[in-house]
Amino acid sequence: MPKQKLPVPFERFAKEFSKAHAAYERLGSACHTSGPLEAKTRELIQLGMAIGIRSEGAVHSHVKKAHATGATAEEIRHAVLLGIPTLGLPTTVAAFTWVGDILDAKSRSKAR
């Protein structure tokens, strides 16, 4: 998966607290590789969790990562839709706007 540009606050955190950042990255890697789920499935699950905590930045990040692992726009939007019964309509609609920020930008860049 290509390396994404990180948000400036996260870059500052990584620079200022390099040991903590390295430990965080190792933990994330260990979690990803400790089970049988394939990358696309893991990213769709993480997208759902990001939606659940209403983290717009994490939703943006996991949409990009899910797309990079082969998830289609339709699969990503379906993952968002599944939030309605658990998280409610307002949270899910907000998530659709955050997902749209990324998917719509990707569509515009392909059209050029």
Q: pLDDT, tens digit, for every residue of 17-51?
A: 999 999 999 999 999 999 999 999 999 999 999 99
Sequence spans of domains, the chain: 7-36, 38-111
Under a CB-based contact definition with an 8 Å cutoff, are residues 71 and 43 in contact? Answer: yes
pTM: 0.85
Residue 106 has pLDDT above 90, yes or no: no
Q: Is the dihedral of CA 94, 88, 79, 55 positive or negative?
A: positive
Pick the CATH number of 38-111 from 1.10.760.10, 1.20.1290.10, 3.20.20.450, 3.40.50.300: 1.20.1290.10
Provide CB contacts within 8 A for 2, sequence distance 6+.
Answer: 68
* Alpha-carbon span 76 to 10, nearest angstrom: 24
